[in-house]
Structure 1
Amino acid sequence: MFPPIFTVAAAAPAVTALLGSNPTRLYPFGEAPQGVVYPYVVWQTITGSPEKYLAGRPDMDGYTLQVDVYADTGSSARAVAAALRDAIELQAYVTRWGGESVDPETKRYRISFDVDWYVAR
Structure 2
Amino acid sequence: MFPPIFQVAAADPGVTAVLGTSPVRLFPFGEAPEGVTLPYAVWQLVSGSPENYLAGRPDIDGFTLQIDVYAATGSSARAVGKALRDAIELNAYIVRWGGESRDNETNRYRLSFDVDWLTPR
Shift of 1:28: 0.2
Q: How do residues 19-98 of structure 1 correspond to structure 2 at under 5 angstroms? A: 19-98=19-98
User: 2:42 and 2:80 mapped to 1: Cα distance?
Assistant: 12
User: 1:33 and 1:78 mapped to 2: Cα distance?
Assistant: 21
Deviations for 1:41-62, whole angstroms, at most 9, x for unmatched residues?
0000000000011111100000
Shift of 1:34: 0.4
User: 1:108 and 1:44 mapped to 2: Cα distance?
Assistant: 19
Give the letter for the 2:82 counterpart: A
Q: Which stretches in structure 2 are left out of the alignment for 5+ residues?
A: none
Q: Which stretches in structure 1 are left out of the alignment for 5+ residues?
A: none
**Which segments of structure 1 move beyond 4 Å, counting only runs of 4 or more?**
none
Give the letter for the 1:20 counterpart: G
Shift of 1:24: 0.2
Q: Secondary structure at the match of 2:69?
A: strand
Partner of 2:5: 5
The TM-score with structure 2 as length reference comes to 0.99
Identity of aligned residues (%): 74
The TM-score with structure 1 as length reference comes to 0.99
Give the letter for the 1:39 counterpart: P
User: 2:99 and 2:13 mapped to 1: Cα distance?
Assistant: 25
